[in-house]
Amino acid sequence: MPSVINDNSLPSRSKLAEIDKSQVHERLPRLTPRRKAPPSQNPLPVPETPFLPSPPDHSNIIFHDPTRRILSPHDHELFQASPTFNLILSFVFSISEAGAGKKISAIQKPDVSEVSKHVLSILASIEDTVSQCPPADQAGSRFGNPSFRNFLDSISAQSSSWHSLLGLISRSAISEVSTYLCNSFGNRTRIDYGSGHELNFIIWLLCLNRLSLLPPSSFPALALLVFPQYVKLMRKIQSTYYLEPAGSHGVWGLDDYHFLPFLFGASQLLHHPYIRPLSIHNELILEEEGDEYLYLNMVRETMASKSVKGLKWTQPMLDDISGAKNWEKVEQGMRRMFVREVLGKLPVMQHFLFGSLVPAVEGMNREEEVGVKPEAEGKEGGEVAVEGNEVRHVHRDDAWGDCCGIKIPSTVAAKEEARRKGEEDGFRRIPFD
């Protein structure tokens, strides 16, 4: 049954005309203009570059072989609050700043110190050693090649003579400093490589800095010559011996092996006139500028090693970062990531080695006190915990693959095996892409 409306309840036209216009205005809902949502703020502050202290008095240094001291979450907390933590940050960020806004070709030979030239010579000798230690036939296996151990043995045998060329005389000093160099190319037992090994190379350079051999004036050469040469050398080692990515997936999606090239590379591209973060999807820019900028070089090499085309499938984090407004945002994000995802991750830093030049602090555990085997003898990856007098392996649920060192063959190995078999070198299509 239709409802009946009482006409007496409705105001007449004459009554409506009598209503003051101001009252009508007050009765209308207030319209507010749409405003853009404020940009999301990263709650994490951008890490600043701490002051780099002067090298210590060499006469007071008692050199000793570096050992692991981060054996528990408490040890890790002590490290993060220590002067050594700030020393590492200062050194890494200072090298990054030394290459800011500069091409690799911007460094001239007269600007390279003699010690930096010797460091480059050492890297060249290590590259020759790779050729002298060919990989063993593994019948098509894509896992780590055992000949990598022969390569490390050869490096260790030559290390003393290399450091003598750098000006080190004391045997104990050579033994301490060379430990970091020998651990810069991967793990002997697991035949893998990750950001912790890359950090060992930086600590090797830091030791030379603490011995007054690499002063701040040499930092541009370290950023633009030495470190790119190290990355190039590591690519040869990775492809020759099929080094497995440590932690199963590299540094959280940036690359299977490396992190610091993205920090140094983002610093290089600060204020570039035409290369933007989104330019990493432009193959022409990668081809033309990849030899001059570490960031572009890493993206180019990463794409070349994958069998699937598209960063959104292979390196989704790099794909997300390409949407940043400018390189300053990228560089700031890389600083945060280095602090949180490298120095701030216990599965990475539990392998870190402390000596006299990069000292531990009071209260941190010692390997011999808690019964932990030295790093060179450790077989199981992942995190250990010290509870009283017991040392046990910790299974982590917050990150797949960071726990037990699950063996994952590298994409570099897959590409090399395909090349050896003469298979067609092309990209696989992704359905619905």
Q: How far apart are the first and last CA of the chain?
A: 57
CA neighbor of 114 nearest in space, from 229, 264, 234, 215: 215
- Which helix (H) or strand (E) segment is 116 a member of? helix 114-132
Beta-strand relationship, 244-245 and 192-193 = parallel
Can you say whether the dihedral through the CA atoms of 119, 120, 123, 129 is positive or negative? negative
Instruction: Specify the long-range contacts of residues 161-169, CB closer than 8 Å, at least 24 apart.
Output: 162/122, 162/125, 165/118, 165/121, 165/122, 166/115, 166/118, 166/119, 166/208, 166/213, 167/115, 167/213, 168/211
Residues of the chain with pLDDT under 70: 1-28, 37-42, 139-140, 142, 247-253, 376-433
Query: For residue 155, is it left (φ>0), alpha (ψ between -120 and 50) or beta?
Result: alpha
333's CB contacts (< 8 A; 6+ apart) are 321, 324
CB 142 within 8 A of CB 120: no
Q: CA-CA distance, 345 to 329, in Å (whole number)?
A: 23
pLDDT of residue 303: 85
- In one-letter notation, the amino acid at residue 124 is A
**Angle in degrees, CA 416, 417, 422, rounded to 5:** 95
DSSP code string of 197-263: HHHHHHHHHHHHHHTTSS-GGGHHHIIIIIHHHHHHHHHHHHHHHTPEETTSSTTTTS-SS-SHHHH
pLDDT of residue 368: 85
In terms of pTM, does the model score above 0.85?
no
pLDDT of residue 127: 97
DSSP code string of 43-76: SSPPPP----PPPPPGGG------EE---SHHHH
pLDDT of residue 369: 83
287's CB contacts (< 8 A; 6+ apart) are 300
pLDDT of residue 402: 44
Q: Report in angstroms the alpha-carbon separations of 250 from 172, 202, 299, 328.
A: 34, 18, 14, 24
Can you say whether the dihedral through the CA atoms of 129, 132, 138, 139 is positive or negative? positive
Q: What is the largest CA-CA distance in the chain?
A: 110
Q: CA-CA distance, 177 to 214, in Å (whole number)?
A: 14
